[in-house]
Structure 1
Amino acid sequence: MTSGRGLEDAVWALLHEALHHYRDHPWAADRLRHELARLEEPLRVAVAGGWRSGKSTLLNAIMGEQVAPVAGVDGEDTFTWYEDGPAPGATAWSTDGVPQELAVTRSATGLRVDGPGWRPGELRDLVVRWPTRALRQLTLIDTPAVADPDERGRAPVVERALRDADALLYLTRDGRDSDLRALDSERDGIVGQAGAVHVLLVRSRADETGGGRIDALLTARQLVRRQQRDPRVAARCVHALACSGTVGLAGRMLGEADFAALAELARVPRPELDAHLLSADRFVRAGLPVGLSADARAALLERLGLFGVRLATTLVRTGCDSRVKLSTELIRRSGLTELRESVNRLFVDRQGTLKARSALVAVEGLLRAEPGPGTGELLGAVERIVAGAHEFAELRLLAALRAGRVGFAAEPAAEAQRLVGGEGTAPAARLGAEHDATARQLWELAIDAQWRWRERAEDPTLRLVQRRGAEVVARSCEGLIVELAGPPRRSTPA
C-alpha cells in the first residue's frame, strides 16, 4: 500500500517530521500536535446544508432521538458538536477561547442549554455530550446554514466544516449548481486533487419530491442515480443518495400509541382519507370518522408530516400490522438504512484513512502558509504519500462502482465492490469468507482473486476505465496477500 507502511503510519511519521521542522514556531507546533491528537479521537462527521435543508432532523434520525437543535444559543455562526459522554452536559467555546460548562435539559424540540446570553457571533462552538450508542465511534457536527457561494466561489461554513471534520454529509434539496460549487473550496492543492473521498451527497427532504406524492421517495432515488452519473457530482463526492430525515426519524421513534393512531386512520377508506390529507389544516380540523382528537392528529403531523401519514397508513393497509413492522419499513423506505450503511462503510470503516487525509490537508496548508527552508521536501513527502495511497483509490473505485460508471457486469461488479471493502474492510469481509475462516483459507482466496483481477487488468478487450478499475482491485488483493502472509496480529477487543 502506501510506502509499504500503510497510509496511517506514513502520515504519523510525516506529522512528526513536520513537528521537528517547526519546533521553533509555537503556533505551527501546536497545530501539528492537535493533528496528532486527532488521529486518536473518534471520527468527526459534519452535517452541512442550506437553510431548511433538514440538517437537525437528519442528525436526530441518525441518533434515533430528538436532540437537535439545541435551544438557548445563537445558531448563526455556531458549530454544535455531539459526542458520546457518560452523562448529559455541554461546553461552550466563545471567541475569547475560554470554555464554559453548561447544564443540558430536554426541550420540546430537542435539547436546551442555559448560557449567559452571548452576543451574536460570540459563541463559536458548543460541544454537547450525550450518552448514546450512535456516538460511540463518531462525533457529529451540526453546522450553521450554508449560504450561496460568493463571487469567488467560497462558502465559509463549508470551508470550516471540511477543515474541522474528517467527513461531510452535504445536504441538498435538488443538487443545484450552487450547492455543488460550495464543495469546491478544498479541491485545490495536492490532497484536494486526489478526489473527494470524504463527502457524501444527500438529497434531503426526499419526501417532498414531486409535491409529496406517495412515490416521492422512489422518484428521489431515481433522480439521485441519474445525478451519480454526472461528472460534476462524481468529482465532488464519493457517493450520493436520497433520504427523508422526517420519515426516518418517525420510524425510529414510533411508539405503540402512534401505531394505534395510524392503524385507526388506515381503517378509513383510502379515497376519503386522501381527501383529508390534501392539506395539514384539512387533516387536523375537518371531521374524520375516527376516534382521534384534533390534538392527536396534529401530533401525528408533527412527527410524520402529511407524506409520512399517507405512507404509514398505506403500509398498515398492505401488511405492516405491528409497530415493529411499520417502524422497520418506514426506516427502510426513508433511505435512512442506506445512509447509515454508507456512513459505516465509507466513513466509519475507513476512519483511519479519513483521519490521515485530514492530517495531510492540515500539513499541506501549514507548509504553504509558513514556507521556509525544508518545506519543499515536506511538500514532496505529502505528494508521495497521496500518490501512493491505495486507500484513496479504493474509495474512488467504490464510488464509481456504486454509480455504475465502470461498466462491469453484475457479478464482477459485486465482487469488485466486496474486494475493495464495500461490505467491510476486514479480510474475511473482503473475500466473502466466513468469519471463522483460517488465515490459510483466506490467503488462498486472495491468491485466486488476485489472479482473476490481474487478468482483467491486462485484458485488451476491456475499456480503459474497466482495466484501471481491475488494477485497483488487483492491488487490493495483493495487499490482502501480504497482510495474510505476515505475522499474526494481536487481537483487539471489539
Structure 2
Amino acid sequence: MTVGLRLGEAVWGLLQHALDLYRDNRRATGHLRHQLARLEQPLRVAIAGPWRSGKSTMLNAVMGEEVAPVGDADGTGVFTWYEDAARPHAIAYSTTHPPQELAMTKSATGMRVDLVGWRAGELRDIVVRWPTRALRQLTLIDTPAITGIDEHGRAPVMDRALRDADAVLYLTRDGRGTDLRVLESSRESAVGQAAPVTAILVLARADETGGGRIDALLTARQLARRQYRDPRVNALCLDTVACSGLIGLAGRVLSESDFATLAQLARVSREALEPHLLSADRFAVGELPVRLDAEVRAGLLDRLGLFGIKLATTLVRTGCDDRAKLSAELIRRSGLTELRESVNRLLLDRRDALKARSALAAVEALLRAEPEPGSGELLAMLEQILAGAHEFRELRLLAALRNTRLGFDTELAAEARRLVGGDGIGLAPRLGIPHDVTVQQLWEAASDAQWRWRKRAEDTTLRLAQRRGAQVVVRSCEGMLAELAEGGR
C-alpha cells in the first residue's frame, strides 16, 4: 500500500538526519549506515528459545535441508546466520581474529561445518551461505539458548536477537513464565510501545505433548489455540503455532530408503509392533519382528524419533503408500505448513514495515544512549513517524482482534482482520475477492467496506476500543482506495 512507501521514506530521512548529527562519531555513523543497508536486505528472522527447545531442528525444517547446527555453536554463545548464495561456504567472525572461511562437509541431505581449532568464547558470529530458495527472501539466525533472565528481567541473548533481527520465532514448550518475561523486555522503548514485538510464538517439540501419544500433535494444536486467546500472549506475539520441527524436517528430507524401511515395519500389525516402540532402547537394540540392522534403526530414531516412527507406520497402513504421500502427510501433521503460512503472511508480507521498525528502534537506542545537541529534535521526529505509521496500528489491531474482550463478534473480527492484512496485504486478499477481478470491482468492494466501517467508527453507542479499532480499518480502506486511484492492483 502507498502508506508503506511513506513510512520507508520517513525512516530513510530520519537515518540521514541522524548521520548528519553524528558525522564526527565514526562508530555511530557506521552503525547508522548499517541500518540503511538493512533496509535493502532480506528480512532477518531469529529463531530463539531456551535450551533443547529444538531451534536448529526447526531452522532445518523451515529450510528443508539439514544445515544446522554448526559444530557446537549453540553451546558457545555464537549467532549463526544462514543467507542465500550462489555456492555453499561459511565464514567465522571472532572478537580477536580477522574473518576466516571454514571448511564445509556436504552430506546427502545438507552440510556440516566443524569448528576445529576455535576456543570457547572466541567466536561471535558464523555466516553460512547456502544456495536454497528458502533463503531468497529471508535470512535465518540460529541463536544460542536462552538460559534465564537477569535481575532486571532481561535475557542478553534475546536483547541481541531483537537488535539484529526484524522478527523472531520464539520456541517454547508452554509459552508461560520466563518465556513471556523474555518477550516483554522488548516493549520498554517508544518503538516497542508503538509497534508490538514482531514475534511468532511456536509451541515446539509438539510431538512430545502429552507424553508422545499418537494424538500429540492434535493436543499441541489445541494448546496453541488456547494460548492464542491469552491476553498476555496477544500483547507480545503476532501468532501462536504448534509445530514439531523433527516431524516436519523428516517429511521434507524423507528418502526412498526411509520409506521402504517404514513400509516394512508397517506390514507388522500395530499390536505386534507397539511393544517395541515403548522406548528408544527397545527399538534400537531389541529383537524386532522384521530384520533391521543397528545403523538403520539408529537413523530412523535420529530422523523421526519414536513418535515419528509410530505416526509414519500408522500413516503407511492407512493409505500413504508411497514416499511422496507419506512426506506430504508428515509435513501437514507436523504443523510446519501452518508455521510457514504464518511467516509468509505476518512477516514476509510486512517485510518493509518490520525493517522500518528495526531501523527506528536502532535510531532511538542511539539517540538515548549517546545524546548530542539536536537529539531532542530527532526523537520528536521519530515519535512523529511512529504516530503516523498506519502499518504499526494494523499490527496492534491484529493482536487485539485475537482477544474477544475487544467486543467484535466472530464475523466482524474476521472481516476486520482481513481488511487490515491478516490474510495477506494485497488488495484482493484484504477485500476477500478473487485476484482476477477488475479495478472497478476492487474499488466498489473497498468503498463499501470503508462506508460500513466508518459507520462503526462514528457509532457513539459502541465502546471506545471498538470505535478505535474501526478507525484503523477505515484507514486501511482509505489506503486501498488511494492505491487504486494511483493505478495499483
The superposition leaves residues 27-78 of structure 1 with CA deviations (integer Å, 9 ceiling, x where unpaired) of 2111111100110011110111111110000000000011001127584121
Name 1:444's counterpart in structure 2. Answer: 444
Question: Which position in structure 2 is the counterpart of 1:64?
Answer: 64
- Bigger drift between 453-462 and 123-132 goes to 453-462
- 2:358 maps to amino acid: S
Amino acid at match of 2:33: R
Amino acid at match of 1:170: Y
Aligned to 1:376: 376
- 1:319 maps to what in 2? 319
Q: Give distance in 1, aligned partners of 2:326 and 2:337.
A: 14
Superposed, 1:133-282 pairs within 5 Å as 133-282=133-282
Q: Identity, % of aligned pairs?
A: 70
Q: Which runs of 5+ in 2 are unaligned?
A: none
Q: Deviations over 1:305-348 (max 9, x none)?
A: 11111111222222222222221111111111111111111111
1:470 correspondence with 2:470: yes
Counterpart secondary structure, 2:112? strand
CA distance in 2, matches of 1:16, 1:475: 29
Task: Give the match's secondary structure for 1:264.
Answer: helix
Preserved CA contact (<8 Å) 1:416 1:473: yes
Structure 1 position 358 matched with structure 2 position 334:
no
Does structure 2 conserve the Cα–Cα contact (< 8 Å) formed by 1:203 and 1:224? Answer: yes
Q: How many Å apart are 1:484 and its aligned residue?
A: 0.8
Specify whether residues 285 and 488 from structure 1 end up closer, same or farther in structure 2 by C-alpha distance, changes over 3 A only. closer
Cα offsets for 1:187-229 (capped at 9, x unmatched): 1110011243411111111111111111111111212222222
Worse overlay, 46-55 or 323-332: 323-332
Name the amino acid aligned to 1:470.
A
Task: Give the partner amino acid of 1:31.
Answer: H
How far apart, in 1, do the equivalents of 2:19 and 2:97 lie?
Answer: 24
Q: Which residue of 2 aligns with 1:15?
A: 15
Q: Quote how far apart the aligned CAs of 1:17 are.
A: 1.4
Measure how far apart 1:467 and its partner are.
3.3
Show the 5 A alignment for 1:113-152. 113=113, 117-152=117-152
Point out the more displaced range, 374-383 or 155-164: 374-383
Q: 1:129 to 1:32 in 2, by over 3 A?
A: same
- Structure 2 letter corresponding to 1:123: L
User: Where does residue 333 of structure 1 map in the other structure?
Assistant: 333
Q: 1:108 to 1:131 in 2, by over 3 A?
A: closer
Contact 1:74–1:121 (CA under 8 A) maintained in structure 2: no
Q: Give the 3-state SS of the residue equivalent to 2:178 in structure 1.
A: helix
- After TM superposition, give the deviation of residue 460 of structure 1 in Å: 4.7
CA deviation after TM superposition for structure 1 residue 457, in Å: 2.7
Counterpart Cα distance in 1 of 2:334 and 2:45: 21
- Measure the CA separation in 2 of the matches of 1:396 and 1:204: 25
Counterpart in the other structure of 1:50: 50
What per-residue deviation string (whole Å, max 9, x for no partner) do you get for residues 242-290 of structure 1?
A: 1110010011111222222222222222222222111111123333323
1:137/1:344 CA distance change after superposition, 3 Å: same
CA distance in 2 between partners of 1:202 and 1:257 (Å): 31
Please give the alpha-carbon distance, in whole angstroms, between the structure 2 residues aligned to 1:404 and 1:337: 26
Sort the Cα spacing of 1:456 and 1:335 in 2 relative to 1 into closer, same or farther, 3 A: same
CA contact (8 A) 1:3 1:385 kept: no
- Mark the CA change 1:78 to 1:234 in structure 2 (over 3 Å): closer, same or farther: same
Deviation at 1:403, TM superposition (A): 5.9
TM-score (norm 1): 0.93
CA distance in 2 between counterparts of 1:310 and 1:434 reads: 41
Distance 1:5 1:73, change over 3 A: closer
* Secondary structure in structure 1 of the residue aligned to 2:105: strand
Q: In 2 relative to 1, CA 403–264 (structure 1 residues): closer, same or farther, beyond 3 Å?
A: farther
Measure, in 1, the Cα distance between the counterparts of 2:121 and 2:283: 41
Going from structure 1 to structure 2, the CA distance change for 1:259 and 1:459 (only over 3 Å counts) comes to: farther
SS for the counterpart of 2:237 is: coil
**Using a 3 Å threshold, how does the CA distance of structure 1 residues 287 and 406 change in structure 2: closer, same or farther?**
farther
Q: Tell me, yes or no, if the aligned pair for 2:195 and 2:357 is still in contact at 8 Å.
A: no
Q: 1:349 to 1:304 in 2, by over 3 A?
A: same
- What is the SS of the residue equivalent to 1:357? helix
- Equivalent residue of 1:193, what SS? helix
CA contact under 8 A between 2:345 and 2:423: conserved in structure 1? yes
- Give per-residue Cα distances to partners, 1:146-195, cap 9 Å, x unaligned: 11001111211000010011111111112231121112332111001124
| 1:439 to partner: Cα distance | 2.7
Judge conservation of contact 1:78–1:144 (CA < 8 Å) in 2: yes
Matches within 5 A, 1:379-394: 379-394=379-394
- For the residues of structure 2 that align with 1:4 and 1:82, how far apart are their CA atoms? 27
Cα distance in 2 for residues equivalent to 1:151 and 1:355? 30
- Distance in 1, Cα, partners of 2:225 & 2:77: 34
Per mean C-alpha deviation after superposition, the further-off stretch among 254-263 and 124-133 is 254-263
The whole-number CA distance in structure 2 between the counterparts of 1:435 and 1:224 is 31
Question: What SS does structure 2 have at the residue aligned with 1:141?
Answer: strand
Q: Which residue of 2 aligns with 1:492?
A: none
Deviates more, 1:421-430 or 1:401-410: 401-410
| Contact 1:2/1:390, CA 8 A, preserved across alignment | no
How many residues of Structure 1 are paired with residues of Structure 2 in the alignment? 489
Q: Give the residue type in structure 2 aligned to 1:56.
A: S
Quote the Cα distance in structure 2 between the aligned partners of 1:190 and 1:474: 25
In structure 1, how many angstroms separate the alpha carbons of the residues matched to 2:236 and 2:258?
40
- SS of corresponding position for 1:71: coil
**Counterpart in 1 of 2:78?**
78
Between the aligned partners of 1:291 and 1:186, the Cα distance in structure 2 is 54
Aligned equivalents of 2:2, 2:113: Cα separation in 1: 45
Q: Return closer, same or farther for 1:406/1:323 CA change in 2, 3 Å cut-off.
A: farther
Deviates more, 1:108-117 or 1:161-170: 108-117
TM-score, structure 2 as length reference? 0.94
AA aligned to 2:336 is L
Sort the Cα spacing of 1:461 and 1:261 in 2 relative to 1 into closer, same or farther, 3 A. Answer: farther
Cα distance between partner residues in 2 of 1:291 and 1:26: 67
